[in-house]
Amino acid sequence: MCAVPAAVAFIVLLLTGCGGARDATGAGGSAAADGAEIDGSITVFAAASLTSTFTDLAGRFEDGHPGTEVRLTFAGSSDLVTQIIEGAPADVFASADTRTMQRVSDEGLLAGTAVDFATNTLQLAVPPDNPAGISSLADAARPGVKTVVCAEQVPCGAAAVAVADAEGVDLDPVSEESSVTDVLGKVTSGEADAGLVYGTDVRAAGGSVLGIDLAEAGAGATTYPITALAESPEAATAQAFVDFVTGPEGRAVLTAAGFGAP
């Protein structure tokens, strides 16, 4: 009679012990895996128009993942693509349009599918006192007005062409730059009367420029994709950064900077 309860007690004790060991291993293993995977240094290639927001996001990511370092390289998206295709070491790529990201995809260099994370539209940036009296894209095309745009192969340049076509304006820029930050620099330095840049760049410039809305800005709306790259030696950390940018905190930072939702 006593043998049965003893056996039952032994079985219950055995099952309880196994359950306790399984719980401890599960919890400890998960925490260890999380800590072990997200560390090391990654290099992020990002479109020039993302300079302010990605500098902020990189700092936040490092704070949330001690032991990580995010190195940032900013330039025109087409220049960054050329560098990536030629073998420049990069772990993450964030482009200012899907066309340039497709070039990287066509080379088989993406770790997965690129994720759209933001949108943007163009504005005319002019000096705060607006000496040329510009109030529209047509004004920026007047003879004698020094207007600067991005080169057409750069996303902001392709967007400028789309907006000018939609408004029926024939632009004759005095220069075509390789990045949107170069266009903005021409305006802030007084070398140009106007420049076609993203609205987020006007906002980031504060009072150093005045932004003028474009009637057909939507025609040049651009979508920003981001992805980890296939050759990254820090694949887990690269993907974690992508997830961070596309997650709630990344979305909040981008929204505050004036980027639209994808």
**For the segment 144-153, what is each residue's pLDDT rounded down to a tens digit?**
999 999 999 9
* pLDDT for residue 27 is more than 90: no
The residue type found at 148 is: V
* pLDDT for residue 15 is more than 50: no
State the pTM of this model. 0.84
Sheet strands side by side (includes 115-120): 68-75, 40-47, 92-94, 222-228, 115-120
Q: What pLDDT score was predicted for residue 96?
A: 97
The more confident residue out of 33 and 210 is 210
Sheet strands side by side (includes 147-150): 175-177, 147-150, 194-198, 122-126, 210-212
* pLDDT for residue 20 is more than 80: no
* pLDDT for residue 40 is more than 80: yes
% of the chain with per-residue pLDDT over 70: 86
Q: What pLDDT score was predicted for residue 235?
A: 96
Q: List all residues 6 or more positions away from 80 whose beta carbon is below 8 Å from its beta carbon.
A: 45, 46, 47, 73, 90, 93, 95, 100
Q: What pLDDT score was predicted for residue 12?
A: 33
pLDDT range class, residue 258, cuts 50, 70, 90: very high
* pLDDT for residue 128 is more than 70: yes
